[in-house]
Amino acid sequence: ESKPQSKQEQAPDYLLTGAIRIQHDREGDNQVKYYQVDLRLVDVTTNEVAWPGSVERKKVVSN
């Protein structure tokens, strides 16, 4: 009977962090929602930001 091979655990090279923000507003009779997503990809060995990203969206909800 053979033993299963154990896999070595590997530490990650990067960590993805982020935040989502939502703001509610009104334009006349319509509800408006603003969404903002901010992301950062961080090198865990140097703590440097390898990639920052941000996206904003607006959604109008008619009554």
pTM: 0.68
Whether residue 53 is contained in a domain is answered as yes
What length is written for the chain?
Answer: 63
Considering only residues 1 and 48, tell me which one the structure prediction assigns the higher pLDDT: 48
Whether residue 3 is contained in a domain is answered as no
Give residue 2's pLDDT: 63
Total domain count, the chain: 1
Give residue 62's pLDDT: 81
**Interval 4-62: pLDDT, tens:** 666 777 889 999 999 999 999 999 999 999 999 999 999 999 999 999 999 999 999 88
Give residue 30's pLDDT: 93
Whether residue 46 is contained in a domain is answered as yes
Whether residue 1 is contained in a domain is answered as no
Do residues 42 and 14 make contact, with C-beta atoms less than 8 angstroms apart? yes
Token pair listed for 39: 């992301």
Domain that holds residue 26: 14-61
